[in-house]
Amino acid sequence: MQPVKSNQLMINIVLFGPPGAGKGTQSENIITQFGLKHISTGDLFRKHLGEGTTLGKEARSFMDNGKLVPDEVVIGMVEDFLNANTDAKGFIFDGFPRTVAQAEALDGLLEKHNTAIGCMLMLDVPQDELKKRLLERGKTSGRADDQNEEKINVRIQEYTNKTLPVATFYEGQGKTCKIKGVGTIESIFSDISEAIESHIA
């Protein structure tokens, strides 16, 4: 299937990668190279909860009752970010959307802004390599879940289970790009840049 190319000038990318895939490093490279704004739902939650906004209070009411925050609240936070950055060249969505429902809602939101997702980048790294990297990182990161092989396996499996339906959704639009996440940082980024440019050309 040919990639769907957006007619819009904005570059909007969804970036996924399992724990240990080097997503943080490559995310920074993409932001620098293409001048994009970074959207992480974790950052948005911290902002809205910290500032006590209406969306933050709404999210808090669900969280305090041990419930998942509904998609419409999350999308509301994303929309707030888009509205605050109307001059952006585009956005990189880091680990979001996590479900097909969120992906559909994001498509609708971006359509309102006369733009669309250009491509979904998936950093693909063999499981043995991920484990090796995380255990190595655990020596210095201080994170307990980087030091326990059983917990690492659970995290990788959880990522795979959650990401697959979203990847399939974007694949149906011709927008999913698997990037081999093994090699030098520079060579991986070169492949990423090529994939992005092929979807926005």
| Closest by Cα among 196, 27, 61 to 117 | 196
Domains and CATH numbers, the chain: 11-36+88-200 (3.40.50.300)
- Region 97-107 average pLDDT: 92
Q: Quick check: 4 pLDDT over 60?
A: no
Pick the catalytic residue: 46, 89, 143, 180? 143
111 touches 6 (CB < 8 A): no
Beta-strand ranges (E) seen in the chain are: 11-16, 37-40, 90-94, 119-124, 176-180
pTM of the model: 0.83
- Region 33-40 average pLDDT: 93
Sign of the Cα pseudo-torsion (103, 104, 110, 114, in order): positive
Q: Is 133 a catalytic site residue?
A: no
Q: Is 46 a catalytic site residue?
A: no
- Region 22-47 average pLDDT: 91
Pick the catalytic residue: 5, 98, 162, 178? 98
Compute CA 91 distance to the chain's CA centroid, rounded to the nearest angstrom: 10
Pick the catalytic residue: 47, 137, 151, 178? 137
pLDDT of amino acid 99: 87
The whole-angstrom separation of Cα 151 and Cα 13 is 29
The whole-angstrom separation of Cα 160 and Cα 162 is 6
Tokens of 28: 């920074």
Cα Rg for the chain, rounded, in angstroms?
Answer: 17
- DSSP string of 118-176, one letter each residue: -EEEEEE--HHHHHHHHHHHHHHH--GGGS-HHHHHHHHHHHHHHHHHHHHHHHTTT-E
Q: Is 60 a catalytic site residue?
A: no
Share of the chain above pLDDT 90, in %: 57
The whole-angstrom separation of Cα 150 and Cα 33 is 37
Give pLDDT tens digits for 62-93: 888 888 888 999 999 999 999 999 889 999 99
| Closest by Cα among 68, 38, 72 to 55 | 72
Q: Is 98 a catalytic site residue?
A: yes
Tokens of 134: 């995380």
Residue 150 sits at φ, ψ, to 5 deg, of -65, -45
Bigger pLDDT: 123 or 150?
123
137 touches 146 (CB < 8 A): yes
Q: Is 143 a catalytic site residue?
A: yes
